[in-house]
A and B are shown apart, each in its own frame.
Chain A
Amino acid sequence: MSAVLVLIEHDGGPVRKAGLELLTLARRIGDPVAVVIGPEAAAAAPLLAEHGAGRVFAVDATEVLDHLIAPAAETLAQLVAVTSPVAVLLPSSSSGKEVAGRLAVLIESGVITDAVDVELQPDEGSQIGSVIATKSAFAGAFATRCTVTHGIPIVCVKPNAVAPQEAPVESVVEAFIPEISAAARAARITGREPREASGRPDLAEASTVVSGGRGTNGNFAQVEALADALGAAVGASRAAVDAGWYPHANQVGQTGKTVSPQLYVAAGISGAIQHRAGMQTSKTVVAINKDSEAPIFEMADFGVVGDLSAVLPAAIEEIRKRRP
């Protein structure tokens, strides 16, 4: 089998689900080799080993962590030289994609972003086959299949592409100290203010998302209450964010987060293409809107035409009633 390099973005807290999903996908291609970049990187190793990472490189040098993007790309390029992987998988986060772009230039390889699935297709021309990535284009209007034709395939994968599977292996953990060029140390992170944690699941990774839009009239309390009843993350449409009703970090859409949860609840969101671009790949869509003509109903599996201030509390009450 061959090595598949997997970037695990790490913030020093628990390993995020998206990283375990990458390892699960990597096992379709070869043997996952995890590269953990972040504070206390080695602490992530046991869980990664449980998900198939037989080799873990832990990177927490300050010259990597205190500079933006470029050092992570140089680190990966050096580990590509060490491990000769057949593919490199990264999270399709904003930073993951930028690392991938720089890596593509460094190791002269093609890069695919925003994949929602990755598989290995047998190919007579090569020993291991072709890595085929599925992605959606034009706000989800098309599904495309893409492949890399030059170099080592670099693929950025969106959260929720696959359910993480355990595959315990004996793992070798190595602290890796990369050599970082002066150019890569040019953008210095000089301040870091932690944001207040909401206590809710991460929006991009959540299996359920409840989003509010213009129809909330600025009252997100019921949106949050339904999210909490469902164990969901809270999202917001651009209209709601632009109105100052909810933080930009929670915006779902073309200029915010793209999510693909099992369940997406759109409360008071009309469903403009800008918004659909961010949630079109959700497995099940439930919409509540007082306008029966709202385009969101065209893509809803279940819709309620009605007033949020009546429907949301009733739904929350019903969930509580059904809980033992």
Chain B
Amino acid sequence: MKIIVCVKYVPDAQAGRRFEADLTTDRAGVDGLLSELDEYAVEEALVVADAIGATGERPQVVVLTVGPEDAAYAIKKSLQMGADAGVHVDDPAIQGSDAVATSRIVAAAIAAQSPDLVITGMSSTDGGTGVVPAMIAQRLGLPQLTYAAELTVDAAAGTVRIRRDGDTSVETVEASLPAIVSVTDQINEPRYPSFKGIMSAKKKPVTRLSLADLGIPAEEVGLAAAWTRTVAAEPRPPKAAGTVITDDGTGGAQLVEYLVSHKLV
């Protein structure tokens, strides 16, 4: 059995994220990390692998990323956490790809691995569209179970079941394997890499693939081929400083006075 985890290397939210001149995300000039929401996906894959491994053959956990040279760090961190192998799709022609093109690349890389289960995070923390896993599922024709707060895999029966906590109801969703599951940050507590994990990660195999390896023509992805375009990106003007008072017993009343004077109450 094989589990693929899709991970993304993103600019650190604390590091002053910005755009390039062509209005794509600056991925080189800003420190990056493994997208925090993907840590939950890696952790869940390890939990599922351990559970299945306790009574039978432990599934292989393969982490997959698409991104430039530096994105190798997202794989490295996942291997340190305990994943078994990595696949890194890196090709200069990918730069500036939109969600639709990204999903095509990821779907092709997944298909080449023939996994039984694909686990993703609920969204990236940079672009944050949250649509790529749904697009991958659509392309691969796989059942998709999204926003899992709890995941149960029955390897013998070849089924997967999740709990998803919606606004108005809590749903149970089931499907047969192979399937693709996205997990929320409520599903687990991601582990920190242990010293042993960090040392053993150095020996784990990472396969690097180009677009040609996946059979995708370079001119069909990247910024020039994107189906969406950012035509302007402007820093939001800094907010004019507001009024800050120190409570002297009238703070609550002054707050309400502010709301009333601005017709907010």
**Is B one of A's binding partners?**
yes
Spell out A's residues near B (CB within 8 Å): 11, 68-70, 73, 94, 97-102, 104-106, 109-114, 132, 136-151, 183, 186-195, 197, 202-204, 208, 230, 248-249, 254-255, 262-263, 273-274, 277, 280, 284-286, 288, 292, 297-307, 310-319, 322
- Evaluate contact between A187 and B228: CB separation under 8 angstroms: no
In chain B, positions 54-71 with a C-beta closer than 8 Å to chain A are none
Interface membership of B98, Cβ < 8 A? yes
Closest to B98 in A: A110
Q: CB < 8 Å: which of A99, A105, A187, A312 contacts B103? A: A105
Chain A hits for B232, CB < 8 A: 144-145
- Evaluate contact between B138 and A101: CB separation under 8 angstroms: yes
Q: CB < 8 Å: which of B98, B231, B233, B253 contacts A132? A: B231
**Which of A11, A114, A145, A230 has the most CB atoms of chain B within a 10 A radius of its CB?**
A145
- Evaluate contact between A319 and B256: CB separation under 8 angstroms: yes
Closest to B241 in A: A298
**Which of A139, A274, A318 has the most CB atoms of chain B within a 10 A radius of its CB?**
A318
Give complex CA distance A297, B245 in Å. 10
Q: CB < 8 Å: which of A190, A195, A286 contacts B255? A: A286
Give complex CA distance A222, B239 in Å. 29
**17 A/B residue pairs, CB under 8 Å, sorted by A:** A94-B122, A94-B146, A101-B130, A101-B138, A111-B227, A111-B228, A113-B129, A114-B128, A144-B232, A149-B227, A149-B229, A187-B174, A188-B173, A188-B175, A302-B244, A303-B244, A304-B255
Q: CB < 8 Å: which of B138, B149, B230, B262 contacts A146? A: B230
Give complex CA distance A187, B174 in Å. 6
Q: CB < 8 Å: which of B18, B19, B265 contacts A319? A: B265
Closest to A202 in B: B167
- Evaluate contact between B230 and A314: CB separation under 8 angstroms: no
Interface membership of B242, Cβ < 8 A? yes
Q: CB < 8 Å: which of B37, B128, B184, B251 contacts A304? A: B251
Give complex CA distance A132, B231 in Å. 9
- Evaluate contact between B131 and A101: CB separation under 8 angstroms: yes
**Which of A137, A145, A288, A319 has the most CB atoms of chain B within a 10 A radius of its CB?**
A137
- Evaluate contact between B252 and A98: CB separation under 8 angstroms: no
Interface membership of B171, Cβ < 8 A? yes
Sample of 15 more A-B contacts, CB < 8 Å, known A142-B233, A315-B256: A73-B138, A101-B135, A104-B135, A113-B129, A132-B231, A140-B236, A147-B231, A191-B172, A248-B149, A248-B184, A273-B14, A292-B246, A302-B242, A306-B251, A319-B256
**In angstroms, how far is the closest chain B Cβ from the Cβ of A310?**
6
Give complex CA distance A274, B173 in Å. 29
Interface membership of B264, Cβ < 8 A? yes
- Evaluate contact between A305 and B145: CB separation under 8 angstroms: no
**In angstroms, how far is the closest chain A Cβ from the Cβ of B162?**
9
Given A68-B146, A149-B228, A304-B254, residue A249 in contact with residue B135 (CB < 8 A): no
Q: CB < 8 Å: which of B13, B99, B144, B234 contacts A187? A: B144
In chain B, positions 106-123 with a C-beta closer than 8 Å to chain A are 122
Interface membership of B105, Cβ < 8 A? no
**In angstroms, how far is the closest chain A Cβ from the Cβ of B168?**
6
Q: CB < 8 Å: which of A148, A284, A313 contacts B262? A: A284
Q: CB < 8 Å: which of A70, A255, A307, A317 contacts B144? A: A70
- Evaluate contact between A300 and B244: CB separation under 8 angstroms: yes
Chain A hits for B147, CB < 8 A: 94
Chain B hits for A305, CB < 8 A: 244-247, 251
Given A104-B100, A110-B100, A248-B165, residue A145 in contact with residue B173 (CB < 8 A): no
Q: CB < 8 Å: which of B17, B23, B169, B226 contacts A194? A: B169
Closest to B257 in A: A318
Q: CB < 8 Å: which of B129, B185, B244, B254 contacts A97? A: B129
- Evaluate contact between B259 and A286: CB separation under 8 angstroms: yes
Interface membership of B125, Cβ < 8 A? yes
In chain B, positions 206-259 with a C-beta closer than 8 Å to chain A are 226-236, 239, 241-247, 249-259
- Evaluate contact between B251 and A310: CB separation under 8 angstroms: yes
Closest to A320 in B: B256
Closest to A277 in B: B13
- Evaluate contact between A70 and B138: CB separation under 8 angstroms: yes
Shortest Cβ-Cβ A-B pairs, 10 listed:
A314-B252, A306-B247, A110-B227, A101-B131, A186-B143, A191-B172, A150-B227, A315-B252, A303-B244, A101-B134
Given A192-B169, A263-B259, residue A142 in contact with residue B137 (CB < 8 A): no
In chain B, positions 136-168 with a C-beta closer than 8 Å to chain A are 137-139, 141-147, 149, 161, 165-168
Interface membership of B179, Cβ < 8 A? yes
Given A69-B134, A313-B252, residue A183 in contact with residue B141 (CB < 8 A): yes
Interface membership of B260, Cβ < 8 A? yes
Given A105-B100, A305-B245, residue A146 in contact with residue B173 (CB < 8 A): no
Interface membership of B48, Cβ < 8 A? no
Closest to B125 in A: A254
Closest to B170 in A: A193
Give complex CA distance A98, B99 in Å. 12
**In angstroms, how far is the closest chain B Cβ from the Cβ of A278?**
11
- Evaluate contact between B231 and A111: CB separation under 8 angstroms: no
Q: CB < 8 Å: which of B99, B128, B231, B236 contacts A101? A: B99
Interface membership of B176, Cβ < 8 A? yes
- Evaluate contact between A190 and B131: CB separation under 8 angstroms: no
